Amino acid sequence: MLPPNHQDNAVKPFALSFSQSQMEALLQNSPDLVYIVDLRLQSLIFINERVSDILGYSMAEAETLVQKLSSIVVHSDIASLGEALLTRFRLLPSNETAEFHLKLRHKDGSVRTLRHRCRAMIKEGGENTQIMGTAEDVTDSSSRELAYQKNQYQLKEAEVIFKCGSWEWQSHETCMRWSDGLFRVFELSPDQYPDRCIEYKVYESFIYQEDVVKVRNYVRQLLSEKRGTLDLEHRIIDAKGVLKYITLRAKCYFDEKGKLARLMGVAADRTEIESYQNELERRLIALKKSNQELEQFAYVASHDLQEPLRKIIAFGERLDKKYKEQLGTEGQFFIARMTNAANRMHGLIEDLLTYSRASRQLESQEPISLNEVAKEVLEDLEVKIQDKKAVVEVDDLPTIEAQSTQMHQLFLNLIENALKFTKPDQEPMVQVRVRKATLPEIKAIPQLNPHQSYFCFTVKDNGIGFEPQYAEQIFAIFQRLHGRSEYEGTGLGLAICRKIVESHQGYIGARGNIGEGAEFYFYLPHRRSGVSA
């Protein structure tokens, strides 16, 4: 601002010192903010009415801003900024324009970015004394530029991380424009192609020879069918001679005449993924072969052991009957021990055969009434249920697609298991329940397919139970939580159940506590995978 005692001939603030009113009117009507700075007074002496549109201040308010301009300048060091600008303005050549960006606070509190252009107006003693400037609000364009730069940076980082690059072709061009990422995929230096343009024949020269015809045929088909997307995989030999697997994805644009006008897409190096997939497939094939050989071995070995065991049992029984008196007490004891051991071995082999069959598709799956299965199982266990004075409650069970023999084995093993581990002072109670599984619980079990519908079955008893930490162990082959002298069995019953459930694309688990009984739950699909429920 001018000092109060300044001479009358001094330039008045917010008024031009010359008489060209036409010039003042022109400046007032400028679409940009126009201002004049007196470098001697270090003050604004003119500003046009655009200050209201750009910064929200009236002309009266703008007059007060002359004294406190620093209050609306957004900068970390306003004093240093002011000194730097004054120095620059004083020495600015007459034929040059000083251009800079400055952030100013709008009346509503928002920050606006203004691009300033200043030129010298009056010079005295070799230094400029007045500067005229224009300011343009570039806040939105600056934000867009920053966002664009950020997006470009992120895209470049993504290309490095994912080993990919983008490309574009337009009908008026004879080549494809590549991003830096695509040059990296092909091990080419972008410096060799300053305009980032690659002719198609150059691209085709990298295609693996056996894939060239496939690529050409695909392109012909794409053009003839006017497909909206390009989706192609092929191999290349990069500039360093390395074989790579490439995936191309692009959006195709056709003009009104049906001619291809533009292609925009990405190309990704999937060599590592291909290597992992090949290695995984190789290991899966080896594992499948090993499992098949193991199952075949277990089946054959168990089957071949049956005949010698039958002979041991048969000859033991003959010895006991025919030479019982001659054997004496000790001989009879040895014969009994031998026969019992042979019978246990026979039971173990039978269970091994069942376990082996559980993972073999010996019969096709078909609609099976589990009510009929449960009825047959209870008939098989009728004597044991009566001896135990047990109560077995069974819900109305559904019909599912399954293997009849294996469903019989599954329910037989679980109910028989419940009847085995009972409390001596309590009548056994076994409950077989079923309900439709909910989607959240299906999603919570990784082994189940969320696009499939399942039934959840439970077999609950009031027996001796087990400690919760053994809930997984009890399904392992030959695992027993109790000695053979306490409870009979081979340790294969629950392992067979798991095999059966898993072969039907289901899941089985257990819950229990000591003295509080056990509950086995298993999920079976309503129908086979690939058939909607």
pLDDT in tens, 509-526: 999 888 888 999 999 998
Quote the domain boundaries for residue 309.
281-360
Percent of the chain with pLDDT over 90: 24
pLDDT at 478: 53
Q: Same domain, yes or no, for 130 and 158? A: no
Identify whether 532 is part of a domain. no
Alpha carbon distance, N-terminus to C-terminus of the chain:
85
Of 86, 103, 137, which closes a domain?
137
Q: Same domain, yes or no, for 317 and 389? A: no
Q: In this model, does residue 464 exceed pLDDT 70?
A: yes
Quick one: tokens of 294? 């193991």
Q: Find the helix or strand (DSSP H, E) in which 48 lies.
A: none
How buried is 377 (Cβ within 10 angstroms: 0-12 exposed, 13-18 middle, 19+ buried)?
A: buried
Q: Same domain, yes or no, for 26 and 163? A: no
CB atoms within 10 A of CB 50: 21
- Ordered alpha helix ranges (H), 323-453: 324-358, 370-380, 382-388, 404-420, 439-443
Give the pLDDT mean for 312-327.
81
Q: Same domain, yes or no, for 290 and 303? A: yes
Q: Are 44 and 34 in contact (CB under 8 A)?
A: no
Identify whether 256 is part of a domain. yes
Q: Find the helix or strand (DSSP H, E) in which 1 lies.
A: none
Q: Same domain, yes or no, for 401 and 518? A: yes
Give the pLDDT mean for 88-95.
88
- Average pLDDT over the chain, rounded to an integer: 82
Q: Find the helix or strand (DSSP H, E) in which 152 lies.
A: helix 139-162
Burial 87-114 (b: 16+ CB within 10 A, else e): eebbebeeeeebeeeeebeeeeeeebbb
Q: Same domain, yes or no, for 187 and 248? A: yes
Give the pLDDT mean for 156-175.
80
pLDDT at 20: 52
> Residue 433: which pLDDT band, with cuts at 50, 70 and 90?
very high
Of 137, 157, 187, which closes a domain?
137
Sign of the Cα torsion 54, 57, 58, 64 reads negative
pLDDT, tens digit (0-9, with 9 covering 90-100), for 3-41 = 344 444 444 555 544 445 666 666 777 778 888 888 888
pLDDT, tens digit (0-9, with 9 covering 90-100), for 322-344 = 887 787 888 888 888 888 777 77
Torsion angle (degrees, nearest 10) of CA 304, 307, 308, 312: 150
Quick one: tokens of 273? 């993924």
pLDDT, tens digit (0-9, with 9 covering 90-100), for 220-257 = 999 899 989 999 999 999 999 999 999 999 999 998 88
Q: Assign residue 518 the CATH number of its domain.
A: 3.30.565.10
pLDDT at 369: 94
Q: Same domain, yes or no, for 195 and 159? A: yes
pLDDT at 155: 64
pLDDT at 149: 64
Give the pLDDT mean for 131-141.
85
**Rg for the chain, CA atoms, rounded:** 44
pLDDT at 533: 36
Q: In this model, does residue 2 exceed pLDDT 50?
A: no
Give the pLDDT mean for 172-186.
88
Q: What is the pTM of this model?
A: 0.45
pLDDT at 473: 82
Q: In this model, does residue 480 exceed pLDDT 60?
A: no
d(CA 321, CA 315): 10
pLDDT at 530: 46
Identify whether 406 is part of a domain. yes
> Residue 469: which pLDDT band, with cuts at 50, 70 and 90?
confident
Q: Same domain, yes or no, for 230 and 331? A: no
pLDDT at 214: 94
252: left (phi over 0), alpha (psi -120 to 50) or beta: beta
Mapping DSSP onto H, E and C, the string for 452-498 reads CCEEEEEEEECCCCCCHHHCCHHHCCCCCCCCCCCCCCCCCHHHHHH
Of 269, 304, 323, which closes a domain?
269
Quick one: tokens of 341? 């051991």
Identify whether 126 is part of a domain. yes
For helices 324-358 and 404-420, the axis angle rounded to 10 degrees is 120
Q: Same domain, yes or no, for 382 and 515? A: yes
Higher pLDDT, 345 or 83: 83
- Ordered alpha helix ranges (H), 178-270: 180-185, 200-206, 212-225
Identify whether 11 is part of a domain. no
Q: Same domain, yes or no, for 83 and 171? A: no
Q: In this model, does residue 532 exceed pLDDT 50?
A: no
Identify whether 274 is part of a domain. no
Q: In this model, does residue 488 exceed pLDDT 70?
A: no
For helices 493-503 and 404-420, the axis angle rounded to 10 degrees is 150
pLDDT at 148: 57
Highest mean pLDDT among 289-303, 412-426, 469-483: 412-426
pLDDT, tens digit (0-9, with 9 covering 90-100), for 185-200 = 999 988 888 888 888 8
Lowest-pLDDT range of 170-179, 317-326, 380-389: 317-326
pLDDT at 335: 82
Q: Assign residue 84 the CATH number of its domain.
A: 3.30.450.20
Percent of the chain with pLDDT over 70: 82
Identify whether 33 is part of a domain. yes
Identify whether 533 is part of a domain. no
Q: Same domain, yes or no, for 401 and 466? A: yes
Q: Same domain, yes or no, for 209 and 304? A: no
d(CA 163, CA 186): 10
Highest mean pLDDT among 51-65, 449-463, 464-478: 449-463
Q: Are 522 and 508 in contact (CB under 8 A)?
A: yes
Q: In this model, does residue 213 exceed pLDDT 50?
A: yes
CB atoms within 10 A of CB 493: 20
pLDDT at 125: 78
Q: In this model, does residue 455 exceed pLDDT 60?
A: yes
Q: Assign residue 330 the CATH number of its domain.
A: 1.10.287
Tally of domains within the chain:
4
